[in-house]
Copies of this chain bind each other. A is one copy, B any other.
């Protein structure tokens, strides 16, 4: 009925979903609302997505791909391992702050949505871990870090960051605390916790 017959309905659905999901959360997110927002019948969503889950997972995958790209960019920069880890942390934080809708969709997901996330796409989820693991291994090789199991450390690193941003974005942060200061100190703590020998001796 519009000028063009199908001016990227799929994209329209994704945009409306992104907005609705971040605004009203998973609980109040419904296909029928999405359909209403884009001015189309509810069942039309099924022309582009197999299910509500498929739609949500598409949204998640978008963000994962974007974030992975950003991390990869940082990863190939010629940086000292410690600075690289720091840069990775800030890149992650930047994504969360710059695209809160997208990040929230990811981090609001909770166990439920994650459990239903298709297994064959978990490769991408792991990609972030791989990048961090490589940076840590590099640090270990150069004698800057004393981590016996870089893979575990990578998980710890990621988990801590996730926890930090989870607190920041869910209003659980005491409002007497400045957000940026909190983030800076948190990242500082996380990096400092990685047994950085030279940093201590050099200071």
A residues adjacent to B (C-beta < 8 A): 25-28, 104, 107-115, 125-126, 129, 149, 151-153, 155-156, 158-164, 166-167, 169-174, 176-177, 181-182, 185-186, 189-195, 200
Contact = CB atoms under 8 A, between A and B. Distances in A.
A185 B149 contact: yes
A166 to B, nearest CB: 6
Given A108-B112, A189-B194, A177 B151 contact: yes
30 contacts: A25-B110, A26-B26, A26-B27, A26-B110, A26-B112, A27-B113, A107-B111, A109-B110, A111-B169, A114-B172, A115-B170, A115-B171, A126-B174, A129-B174, A149-B181, A151-B174, A153-B185, A155-B167, A155-B186, A156-B164, A159-B164, A159-B186, A160-B163, A160-B189, A162-B167, A163-B164, A189-B193, A192-B192, A192-B193, A192-B195
